[in-house]
């Protein structure tokens, strides 16, 4: 598992993710877990000091994950993140 994105998703989903196909499958199956994990990372980040900076953090994380989060899953992850963000606000 050489790709750091696979390692991070393995940690988030608490299962081995060896390749891009496996990563896409797990994110598509459960986008809410990724949304929650990114939200918790944002809350714990010293760089996140507002709702807007939390959104920037989220977008940066999605950009890092790149093609591992397909467009349909991206919308569901974004929706889950926004729901948590609104509750935090």
Question: What is residue 88's predicted lDDT score, i.e. its pLDDT?
Answer: 79
Predicted local confidence at residue 29, as pLDDT: 96
- pLDDT confidence of residue 87: 86
Domain residues of the chain, as ranges?
4-88
Residue-by-residue pLDDT tens, the chain, 89 positions: 469 999 999 999 999 999 999 999 999 999 999 999 999 999 999 999 999 999 999 999 999 999 999 999 999 999 999 999 998 77
CA-wise closest residue to 81 among 57, 63, 64, 65: 57
């Amino acid at each position: 598992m050489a790709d750091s994105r696979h390692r991070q998703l393995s940690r988030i989903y608490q299962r081995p993710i060896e390749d891009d196909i496996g990563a896409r499958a797990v994110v598509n199956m459960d986008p809410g877990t990724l949304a929650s994990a990114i939200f918790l990372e944002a809350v714990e980040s010293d760089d996140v000091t507002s709702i807007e900076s939390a959104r920037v953090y989220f977008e940066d994380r999605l950009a890092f994950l790149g093609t591992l989060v397909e467009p349909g899953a991206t919308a569901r992850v974004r929706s889950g993140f926004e729901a948590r963000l609104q509750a935090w606000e």
